Amino acid sequence: MGFLDNSGDIILDAVLTDTGRMRLARGDGSFKIVKFALGDDEINYELYNKNHSSGSAYYDLEVLQTPVLEAFTDNAASMKSKLISIPRNNILYLPVLKLNEVFAGTDTATHSTGYFLVAVNTATEDELITDSSGASITGILTGESPGRSGSRIRVDQGLDTNAISPGRTLDPLLVETQYLIEIDNRLGHIVSKADATPASISFVDDDNIASYYLSRGTDREYVSEISDTTASTLQVIKGPRGTKLNFKIQSSLELNTSDYLFDTIGTTGNITGKNGATSHKQIKSTVRVIGVNTGYRLDIPINFVKKV
């Protein structure tokens, strides 16, 4: 995609996304636009210079000079960061999403490679769940039997600042009540932490990305309030806390029973487990968690692995 010509009047370059075209072709009335959002994917707010020597008219000079790319038709490539409407103008802090790797030690931490490893079958689980000394290996999600271990992914929400005590209540306007999880549906599915019950898929788009909407009211096994208001070392949000999201990943049947996707979009490399460094097929992917109301998103690196 090229840049849009920004030498004259402001122009608007509009296209249907691939998902839009797919729904239009379906002809079942599912192509219906009912709302809009604004995005600022290209904007780097670090360029906003509040200390510009020439005055406030120059604060955003560099931001406004940002060249803008043409519209992408891939629905997953656009609108990555959205603008937010909040009915108050005097807000100085906004909540973020953070991966909580410290809450439950090996159960919530990532693997030493920086990924969560999803062992897609029992043989891989047996190989990676403990090391040669019998100690648990961090960041191993048991993909065939999610209930086999307590390993899970936990995301916390709140104001990550030391300027406000965690004992203060987070403004209800800023508490995230619904999360969207996006995962490649060919690779895995979202299941609950407690009993590995599969979550309901809202829809799967044309690129096989499955979307799961999980709400505080209806999906308590996934979304709940963070009740700890202390400066605990088990918390990653330094200031007032909102909600937390817990989930596990179950590997897809295709990864469990076939090597096709591993051979097509994956690699092979050694991973250290019970028998030392052994060869594993791997597919590196990302699970995206988005706060539906607050718009903040977090990309969590996932590695689906299968013992060779």
Partner 1 sequence: MATTFKNFLSNDLANTRTLLHEAIPITGSIISGTYGGSGVAIGSETNIKTYGHGMFESVYDYPYLSSSANQIFDVTVGYSSTSPVSASGNTQNAKKINIYNQMAQYLVGYDITGSIKNFKMPTDNVEMKECYFVPFSRLLTKDEIKKGSFALELSVSGSQTFTQGGAAQYFVDRVKLTDTSGSNGYYVDSPAGEYGVLFGSTSAGATPLLLNETLGTAATNPAVGLLYYQAGVAVLSASIFNSSSLGGLIGTPAGDTAPANPHIANVGDVTTLGFTLNVTGATIAQMADGLRNRIYNISYNNTTELNSTIYFCRVGHGDFNYSSNPTYLSASQIRVKTRAADTPVTYFTTVGLYSADNELLAVAKLSEPLRKDPTNEITLRVRLDY
Site track 45-64 with partner 1 (rule: CB under 8 A), x = hit: xx-x-x--------xx--xx
Residue 273, H or E segment = strand 267-273
Q: Which of residues 236-295 bind partner 1 (CB under 8 A)?
A: 239, 291-295
Any residues with CB less than 8 A from the CB of 274 and at least 6 apart, and which? 126, 127, 128, 129, 130, 131, 132
Per CB under 8 A, which region of 31-39, 144-152, 224-232, 276-284 contacts partner 1? 31-39
The residue among 72, 99, 74 whose CA lies nearest residue 299 is 99
List the interface residues with partner 1, window 61-120 (CB under 8 A).
63-64, 66, 68-73, 75, 78-79, 81-87, 89-96
- Which one among 39, 105, 198, 276 touches partner 1, defined by CB under 8 A? 39
Separation of CA 260 from chain center: 26
- CA dist 213 and 222 (Å) reads 10
Examine residue 37 and tell whether it contacts partner 1 (CB under 8 A).
Answer: yes
- Residue 121 CA from chain centroid, whole number: 24
Residue count of the chain:
308
Q: Could you tell me the smallest distance in angstroms from the CB atom of residue 204 to partner 1?
A: 10
Binding test (CB under 8 A) with partner 1, winner from 26, 44, 167, 198:
44
Q: Which stretch binds partner 1 (CB under 8 A): 5-13, 128-136, 140-148, 273-281?
A: 5-13
List 112, 202, 218, 275, residue binding partner 1 (CB under 8 A): 202
Chain centre to alpha carbon of residue 82: 15
Q: Which of 2, 25, 27, 36 binds partner 1 (CB under 8 A)?
A: 36
CB of 48 to partner 1, least distance (A): 5
Told to check if 301 binds partner 1 by CB under 8 A, we report no
Compute the least distance from the CB of residue 63 to partner 1, in Å.
5
Assign 41 to helix, strand or coil. coil
- CA angle, 33 as apex, 94 and 4 as ends, to 5°? 70
- Please list, in sequence order, all residues whose beta carbon lies within 8 angstroms of the beta carbon of residue 293, skipping any fewer than 6 positions away: 176, 177, 178
Q: Is 32 in the site for partner 1 (CB under 8 A)?
A: yes
Footprint of partner 1 on residues 6-25 (CB under 8 A)?
Answer: 6, 10-17, 19-20, 23
